[in-house]
Amino acid sequence: MIVAMQEKATEEQIDAVIDVMVEAGVNVHRTTGASQSILAGVGPTATLDLSKFEMLPGVLYVHRISSPYKLAGRGFRPEGTVVEFRNGVTVGGEKVAAMAGPCSVENREQIFETAKRVKEAGGSFLRGGAYKPRSSPYAFQGMGIPGLELMRDAAEAHGLLVVSEVMEISQIEPMLPYVDLFQVGARNMQNFNLLRELGQVRKPVLLKRGIAATVEELLLSSEYILSGGNYDVILCERGIRTYETATRNTMDISAIPVVKKLSHLPIVGDPSHGTGRRDMVAPLALAAIAAGADGIIVEVHPNADKAASDAAQTMYPDQFDKLMGQLRLIATAVGRTI
């Protein structure tokens, strides 16, 4: 950690700060400049609440130098993490993964038809929501377990894996038989108790970035899962909130190379939520893979315009077919396959 003192800080103030640092188990090295002193602290600063120091008299600012996450950091696994599923499908390796399906599971016909089309197009995961967190209490709230059963059946029938969102701790246990990949939604990215529980589970987790979360906060959240011993975490960029209203969110494509640099975890892009518009999904899916993403997750529905939720951002199966064709070319261009 670094404590930069104000130009007019007195010797007493500097000594007082050094005392507090030493008390916290930190070794202090002082640099005295013509106008300013700098205190460099070495020791257990990763777990220290640095805000304590910010308000001490004479302090200009305090900066943590070591990254606050450990297990999620690139240094922990420089070669990168490859998450492997029971049927041999991987995320984070050479192959780019495609996850697709409806926002909500609605009925047997819908989910079976979707699964068929996803498989035919080259997808490897069937996505679909059974519990739907909706901002209005008056909107459709999901089918629950019966929806998961339908998804599982449809996925089995077509050789797909199942990814579905878990919204609270009590849902983990009942969902276990049905899902291959637990999805944590953007709104739960900082539901730390849920993350901690998922750290105890032995199934991979897809962790979506919150709409106001920094990449650093996303990695800190993944740390909750990793620190429980569950190393199979896949991150997901799905758009952040900005002032621009032409798209529902602003998909932060640069977060993909940033994550690749800072962390060993795989990352996929979600252009459906990232843009909120069906006609923007394909260009942003291509962009995500071109920028180095390990896969995409998109919303597909056989009757997209009549989807019970997220209709505007859901693709028709024919559009998904076309997208997969283009993705194959882009994957090749960046030295990967699909």
The residues in 268-307 that bind a copy of itself, with binding defined as CB under 8 A, are: 274-280, 283-284, 286-292, 304-307
Dihedral angle, C-alpha 275, 276, 277, 283, nearest 10 °: 30
For the CB of residue 289, give the shortest distance to a copy of itself in the complex, in Å. 7
Based on the shown chain and the rule CB under 8 A, indicate whether residue 217 belongs to the binding site for a copy of itself: yes
| Among the listed residues 11, 34, 79, 86, the single contact to a copy of itself using CB under 8 A | 34
| Helical pair 108-121 and 145-158, crossing angle rounded to 10 deg | 40
Bridge partner list, 42: 27
Based on the shown chain and the rule CB under 8 A, indicate whether residue 94 belongs to the binding site for a copy of itself: no
Stretch that binds a copy of itself, among 89-97, 200-208, 230-238, 254-262 (CB under 8 A): 254-262
| Among the listed residues 10, 19, 63, 107, the single contact to a copy of itself using CB under 8 A | 63
Nearer to a copy of itself, 233 or 251 (CB): 251
For the CB of residue 110, give the shortest distance to a copy of itself in the complex, in Å. 15
Nearer to a copy of itself, 157 or 334 (CB): 334
Based on the shown chain and the rule CB under 8 A, indicate whether residue 322 belongs to the binding site for a copy of itself: no
Based on the shown chain and the rule CB under 8 A, indicate whether residue 337 belongs to the binding site for a copy of itself: no
Based on the shown chain and the rule CB under 8 A, indicate whether residue 100 belongs to the binding site for a copy of itself: no
For the CA atoms of the chain, what is the radius of gyration? 23
Cα 250 to its chain centre, rounded Å, is: 15
Cα(211)–Cα(248) distance, rounded to whole angstroms? 11
Nearer to a copy of itself, 173 or 192 (CB): 192
Site for a copy of itself in 173-192 (CB under 8 A): 187-188, 190-192
Site for a copy of itself in 40-59 (CB under 8 A): 40, 42-43, 46-47, 49, 51-52, 54-56
The closest of 191, 194, 143, 185 to 273, measured between CA atoms, is 185
Cα(166)–Cα(278) distance, rounded to whole angstroms? 25
Nearer to a copy of itself, 65 or 157 (CB): 65
| Among the listed residues 91, 310, 323, 336, the single contact to a copy of itself using CB under 8 A | 310
Cα(142)–Cα(131) distance, rounded to whole angstroms? 5
Are the beta carbons of 262 and 73 closer than 8 angstroms? Answer: yes
Nearer to a copy of itself, 160 or 220 (CB): 220
Cα(239)–Cα(271) distance, rounded to whole angstroms? 8
Give how far Cα 336 sits from Cα of 79, 123, 211, 246, Å: 17, 15, 29, 32
Give how far Cα 255 sits from Cα of 63, 258, 288, Å: 23, 5, 10
Nearer to a copy of itself, 11 or 55 (CB): 55
Nearer to a copy of itself, 13 or 326 (CB): 326
For the CB of residue 191, give the shortest distance to a copy of itself in the complex, in Å. 7
For the CB of residue 69, give the shortest distance to a copy of itself in the complex, in Å. 8
For the CB of residue 260, give the shortest distance to a copy of itself in the complex, in Å. 8
Site for a copy of itself in 111-170 (CB under 8 A): 133-140, 167-169
- Within 8 A by CB and 6+ apart from 61, the residues are 3, 4, 54
Number of residues binding to a copy of itself, judged by CB under 8 A: 113
Cα(141)–Cα(130) distance, rounded to whole angstroms? 8
